[in-house]
Amino acid sequence: MKKILVIGAGGQIGSELVVELRKRFGADSTVASDIREPQSGLSGEGPFEVLDVMDNERLKEIVAKHEIKEVYLLAALLSATAEKNPEFAWKLNMEGLFNVLNLAKEGVIKKVFWPSSIAVFGPTTPKKDTPQLTIMEPSTVYGISKLAGERWCEYYANQYGVDVRSIRYPGLLSYTTLPGGGTTDYAVDIFYSAKKNEPFSCFLKEDTALPMMYMADAIRATVDLMEAPDDSIKIRSSYNLAGISFTPKEIYEAVKKLNPDFTIEYNPDFRQQIADSWPGSIDDSAAQTDWGWNPEYDLESTAKIMFDNVLTEVHD
Ligand code: AKB
């Protein structure tokens, strides 16, 4: 049985990825780890370890103890939080990556997944159908760390033969675990207000289009990429990945169909500037060609699932 470690398993992606990996490969296949014990869920359903990814010795200990061969490294500070603490964000986002890449370089682990983001793009990047290869001048500390991380992933792949795979995630919509500190979080928060029938204050302007995706698509993309044959992975920096693209006004209209009394007002804050520097839509033809990526969920189906399910699940 292959043994997998998910670092940052308590987060928005990690909490759903662990469930999927255990479903596919067995409950004991996947060791969930996070900086703190989860309050519910994760730990009961399979192995769990407390891990701060910056603690290299503890990381090595866990990898040896469970004979880990694959690592999904999800621990990071997202865009809005990172702007409030740039030095710590850089430290966390880069040190964790080096710790894991070096284990792969030494041959201790065989495969690494590391998430990049649409934040690698910046104000000088073409905004519409942003290509895989284009101008990349990110203006946020999160984007800078993700772009640097991509360069290091490619370097470790080329120089040391490390099997590292990555996706530039768009904003992710899910209802089991809240996102923490991103610029795209409004697209999750809106459903909580709609469900509670409270007016929603949106921190972005009504016409700010951003690339987004329903979590089930993102999880499928992640595991498909990791399971794809090695020679099909032509890009070792990170793959563009597209799902849906919408503005706050468009998602509000989709939600209003589900709750006709729902109201919104727009109160842009510092996150508007971050959003303005990112693409509105993404060209993911390389992911489609190389490993067969194809999204399933559109805005309408995503909105329906989100609206039906928020506030019905237990949150960590
Ligand atoms: C964020 O908003 O920071 C993240 C991202 C797009 O990487 N959701």
Q: Calculate how far, in angstroms, residue 215's C-alpha sits from the geometric centre of ligand 1.
A: 13
Which atom of ligand 1 is least distant from the CA of 146? 7
In tens, the pLDDT along 29-43 reads 999 999 998 766 555
In tens, the pLDDT along 186-236 reads 999 999 999 999 999 999 999 999 999 999 999 999 999 999 999 999 999
Q: List residues bridging with 266 in a β-sheet.
A: 202
Q: What is the pTM of this model?
A: 0.96
Query: For residue 169, how far is the Cα from the chain centroid?
Result: 5
pLDDT score of 314: 52
In tens, the pLDDT along 153-165 reads 999 999 999 999 9
Indicate which residue's Cα is closest to atom 8 of ligand 1: 171
Count the Cβ atoms, other than its own, within 10 Å of residue 172: 23
Contacts of 145 (CB under 8 A, 6+ apart): 76, 82, 89, 90, 93, 94
What amino acid is encoded at 216 in this protein?
Answer: A
Q: Calculate how far, in angstroms, residue 263's C-alpha sits from the geometric centre of ligand 1.
A: 25
Helix (H) or strand (E) holding 21: helix 12-25
Q: Calculate how far, in angstroms, residue 170's C-alpha sits from the geometric centre of ligand 1.
A: 7
Question: Model confidence at 285, in pLDDT bands (50, 70, 90)?
Answer: very high
In tens, the pLDDT along 172-190 reads 999 999 998 999 999 999 9
What amino acid is encoded at 258 in this protein?
Answer: L
Helix (H, G, I), strand (E, B) or coil at 125: coil
Domain ranges of the chain: 4-170+215-240, 172-212+243-315
Inform me whether the pLDDT recorded for 107 exceeds 90: yes
Indicate which residue's Cα is closest to atom 4 of ligand 1: 182
> From residue 116, how far is each of 94, 163, 219 by CA, in Å?
12, 16, 14
pLDDT score of 313: 56
Q: Which of 244, 247, 170 lies closest to 204 in space, CA to CA?
A: 247
How much is the mean pLDDT over the chain?
A: 96
Inform me whether the pLDDT recorded for 288 exceeds 90: yes
Inform me whether the pLDDT recorded for 267 exceeds 50: yes
Respond yes or no: is residue 142 known to be catalytic: yes
The dihedral through the CA atoms of 293, 18, 84, 269 has a sign that is: positive
Question: Could you say which of 3.90.25.10, 3.40.920.10, 1.20.1250.20, 3.30.565.10 is the CATH number of the domain covering 172-212+243-315?
Answer: 3.90.25.10
Inform me whether the pLDDT recorded for 315 exceeds 70: no
Q: Let me know if 95 is exposed, middle or buried by CB neighbors in 10 A (0-12, 13-18, 19+).
A: middle
Q: Calculate how far, in angstroms, residue 179's C-alpha sits from the geometric centre of ligand 1.
A: 9
pLDDT score of 40: 64
pLDDT score of 192: 97
Residues with CB under 6 A from ligand 1: 78-79, 117-119, 142, 169, 171, 182-184
Same fold, 4-170+215-240 and 172-212+243-315: no
Q: Rounded to an integer, what distance in angstroms lies between the CA atom of residue 283 and that of residue 211?
A: 10
Question: Model confidence at 125, in pLDDT bands (50, 70, 90)?
Answer: very high
pLDDT score of 316: 45
Mean pLDDT of 105-126: 98
Q: Which of 185, 73, 175 lies closest to 62 in space, CA to CA?
A: 73
Phi-psi region of 189 (alpha: psi -120 to 50; beta: other; left: phi over 0): alpha
**4-170+215-240, which class in CATH?**
alpha beta
pLDDT score of 238: 98
Q: Report phi then psi at 266, rounded to 5.
A: -110, 120
Give the pair of three-digit tokens for residue 18.
């662990």
Active-site residue, from 72, 142, 169, 214 = 142
Indicate which residue's Cα is closest to atom 7 of ligand 1: 117
pLDDT score of 45: 83
pLDDT score of 37: 86
